């Protein structure tokens, strides 16, 4: 017997918000574990502060982050999406990891860097700064890691990993910003930028545009890059 529910029955409130390096959708890694150098922390909602909501989480290595993807542009009439790795081919949204979903729910597996009191620090994150967090669940290998599995259509298509390098100017830009203390952890930040761009953030419509210029915002920086001769080159790095 089918039951109907009013929207009120599904109302949720965030337990907090993610504070991450990523300041826009473009360039944000498509999977959390592909961004080893990303860092973030959870800013708890006031009603949960000082109440021990994270107690016990510090003993785990990873955590499932359930989020509300507030920047999602899902349209109810469109139930198929074009995953970047398929080069324009479509699959049903439920057969993909697209962030544009009917209920805007995201699921990320992130590594716990530290957890003390209300301070939860994470690595391997794929969420834009300010994303509402709905829940956190510890990763359990005996429950979450199946012995037999299939990667579906993703096993049949090549990854879009590319070479990414810094131009001499871009490297100098980052060094100068670090010397002026406008950038923290420059080595990690450079590695993160390379991770982001190496994954090829371009939309399928731009794949054939040779030498096109692009830009991503990350950790307060405007990072410009171009694709030429089958590789990405970071050309400029400046504060936003």
pLDDT at 17 over 70: yes
Output the DSSP codes for the chain: ------GGGG----SEEEEESB-SSTTS-SSGGG-TT-EEEEEE-GGGTTTTTTTTGGG-SEEEEEEE-TT----TT--EE--GGGTT--EEGGGS--S--TT-EEEEEEEEEEEETTEEEEES----TTPEEEEEEE--HHHHS-SS---GGGGGS-----EEEE-HHHHHHHHHHHHTTSSS-HHHHHHHHHHHHHT----GGGTT-TT-EEEEEETTEEEEEEEETTEEEEEEEEE-
Residues 46-72: pLDDT tens digits?
A: 999 999 999 999 999 999 999 998 988
Long-range contacts formed by 142-151: CB under 8 A, 24+ apart: 144/64
Stated pTM of the model: 0.87
| Cβ atoms of residues 135 and 66 within 8 Å | yes
Which domains are present in the chain?
10-144 (2.40.30.70), 160-239 (3.30.2310.20)
pLDDT (0 to 100) of residue 8? 65
The SS3 call for residue 136 is strand
pLDDT (0 to 100) of residue 10? 73
Tell me which of 77 and 32 has the higher pLDDT.
32
pLDDT (0 to 100) of residue 60? 97
Mean pLDDT of 25-36: 89
Query: What six digits make up the tokens of 122?
Result: 């994470």
Q: Using CA atoms, how far apart are residues 2 and 189, in angstroms rounded to an integer?
A: 51
Query: What six digits make up the tokens of 8?
Result: 């009120």
pLDDT (0 to 100) of residue 215? 95
pLDDT (0 to 100) of residue 149? 85
The SS3 call for residue 237 is strand
Residues 101-159: pLDDT tens digits?
A: 888 899 999 999 999 999 999 999 999 999 999 999 999 999 998 888 898 888 888 77
Q: Using CA atoms, how far apart are residues 60 and 109, in angstroms rounded to an integer?
A: 12
pLDDT (0 to 100) of residue 80? 86
- Residue 1's pLDDT band, with cuts at 50, 70 and 90, is very low
Residue whose token pair is 């599904």:
10
Mean pLDDT of 171-187: 94
Q: Which residues pair with 196 in a beta bridge?
A: none
- Residue 210's pLDDT band, with cuts at 50, 70 and 90, is confident
Query: What six digits make up the tokens of 65?
Result: 């982050």
Q: For a pLDDT cut of 70, what percent of the chain falls above it?
A: 95
Q: Using CA atoms, how far apart are residues 133 and 45, in angstroms rounded to an integer?
A: 10
Q: Which residues pair with 66 in a beta bridge?
A: 107, 135
Q: For residue 216, which phi and psi values (nearest 5 degrees)?
A: -125, 150
pLDDT at 75 over 80: no
The SS3 call for residue 17 is strand
């Amino acid at each position: 017997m089918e039951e109907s529910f009013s929207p009120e029955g599904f109302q949720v409130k965030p337990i907090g918000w993610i504070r991450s390096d990523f300041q826009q959708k473009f360039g944000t890694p498509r999977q959390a574990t592909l961004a080893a150098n990303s860092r973030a922390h959870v800013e708890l909602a006031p009603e949960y502060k000082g109440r021990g909501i994270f107690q016990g989480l510090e003993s785990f290595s990873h955590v499932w982050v359930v989020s509300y993807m507030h920047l999602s542009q899902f349209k109810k009439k469109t139930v198929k999406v074009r995953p970047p790795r398929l080069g324009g081919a479509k699959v049903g949204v439920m057969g993909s990891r697209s962030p544009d979903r009917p209920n805007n729910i995201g699921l990320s597996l992130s590594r716990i860097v530290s957890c003390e009191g209300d301070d939860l620090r994470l690595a391997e994150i794929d969420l834009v700064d300010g994303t509402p967090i709905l829940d956190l669940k510890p990763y359990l290998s005996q429950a979450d890691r199946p012995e037999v599995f299939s990667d579906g259509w993703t096993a049949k298509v090549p990854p879009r990993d590319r070479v990414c390098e810094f131009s001499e100017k871009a490297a100098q830009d980052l060094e100068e910003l670090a010397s002026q203390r406008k950038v923290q952890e420059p080595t990690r930040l450079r590695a993160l930028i390379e991770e982001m761009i190496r994954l090829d953030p371009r939309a399928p419509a731009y794949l054939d545009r040779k030498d096109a210029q692009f830009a991503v915002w990350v950790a307060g920086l405007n990072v410009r890059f171009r694709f030429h001769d089958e590789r990405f080159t970071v050309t400029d790095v400046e504060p936003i």
